[in-house]
Amino acid sequence: MAGDRREKGYRFPPLKWLMSFEAAARHMSFTAAAAELGLSQAAVSYQIKALEGQIGFALFERRPRHLQLTDMGHAYLPSIRRAFDELLATSSGLFGPIGEQSVTVRVAISFAVLCLASRLRGFQELYPAVNVRTWSSIWANALDTQSADIDIRFGDGQWNGFEATRLTDERAVIVCSPSFAENLKDPDDLDRLADTHMISIAGQSDLWLRVLSEAGCTPRASSGYRTDTSLAAAELAAAGMGCAILLERFARPYLMSKRLMQPCAVALDLKRSHYLLVPIKQSRAHPEVTLLKEWLLNTDWDNVQGF
């Protein structure tokens, strides 16, 4: 079959057929896809049938008042969406954004301050016409899911209503001020660390138990300062209030500036990571959103950025 295609030339499906397929798959409705594309429902149905005829596979199961992608449709759709996104991003990058030129990013405050802020200049230098608006948050799940074009969240990658792509892999480390570190030379010293000197972060209270267990010490809960952000925990530790467990990524700027130290080489791999989330909407993302999304996904988040 491959030889036949090389001899005869592979016929690329018309772009309008692929657009109808992508829109119908997003809406799960020929009627809604037709309204978006400015076509009749019959035209969308015809174009998808023609596409299925050319590729030789059914893409939809057509049921009364219901559409469902076939296995081949599920396999084909990501490539088509990626191709459209790349086409939009390339066009916008070469010729400038069209239409709305602002992108709203909702991001946890610690990631915004310690990771994103120092890198955004790179995006602005590439795309000066795009205005990036950042909204910091602590508990992103509690906020309006329609208020941002892009979310950056820490978790397990499962959020209803969003397409999530992993940005980072994370480890947790123990940090404290240089003066506090004088009494913590090796993991065994953690057994003598007072519970009141164990700074904890809401939502991550299990980390002390896990880190102490990993270090071969007696697992116990913190009874020290408790805060709701990694940024606040880092500042408390830098002020000499005790030890904090931070994502290694968040600790790096403090370690570079010598405001914090790692008193012992204990690191814990985490199952949670930072993800880039894009809402699953009823229309395609603006080119500006695609440009920023691709830039975020291609950013080297492991390259250490200092204060």
CA distances from 100 to 130, 132, 148, 267, 298 (A): 9, 12, 14, 44, 23
Is the per-residue pLDDT at 2 higher than 50? no
Is the per-residue pLDDT at 95 higher than 80? no
Among 201, 165, 200, 175, which Cα is nearest to 273's?
A: 165
> What CATH number does residue 202 fall under?
3.40.190.10
Assess whether 198 and 264 both reside in one domain: yes
Measured distance CA(20)–CA(18) in Å, rounded: 5
Q: Is residue 143 part of a domain?
A: yes
Predicted confidence (pLDDT) per residue in 40-75, tens digit:
999 999 999 999 999 999 999 988 878 889 999 989
* Structural domain of 47: 2-94
Q: Is residue 200 part of a domain?
A: yes
Which residue spans within the chain are E strands per DSSP?
60-63, 66-69, 102-108, 131-137, 150-155, 162-166, 171-175, 198-201, 226-227, 243-247, 267-269, 273-279
DSSP-assigned states of every residue in 90-116: HHHHHH---S--EEEEEEEHHHIIIII
Assess whether 203 and 161 both reside in one domain: no
| Structure tokens that stand for 271 in this block | 């199952």
> Residue 210, exposed/middle/buried by CB under 10 A (0-12, 13-18, 19+)?
middle
What pTM, to 2 d.p., does this model score? 0.70
Assess whether 137 and 258 both reside in one domain: no
Helix (H, G, I), strand (E, B) or coil at 267: strand
Q: Is residue 304 part of a domain?
A: no
Assess whether 260 and 278 both reside in one domain: no
Predicted confidence (pLDDT) per residue in 104-129, tens digit:
999 999 999 999 999 999 999 988 88
Assess whether 66 and 38 both reside in one domain: yes
Sign of the alpha-carbon dihedral angle for 162, 163, 165, 167: negative
Q: Which of 5-19, 23-37, 197-211, 242-256 comes out lowest in average pLDDT?
A: 5-19
Backbone dihedral region of 131: left (phi > 0), alpha (psi from -120 to 50 degrees) or beta?
Answer: beta
Assess whether 153 and 185 both reside in one domain: no
Assess whether 177 and 191 both reside in one domain: yes
Q: b or e along 224-239 (b: 16 or more beta carbons within 10 Å of the residue's beta carbon)?
A: bbebebbbbbbbbbbe
What's the pLDDT score for residue 81? Answer: 82
Q: Is residue 114 part of a domain?
A: yes
Q: Is residue 197 part of a domain?
A: yes
The domain tally of the chain equals 3
Of 40, 68, 94, the last residue of a domain is 94
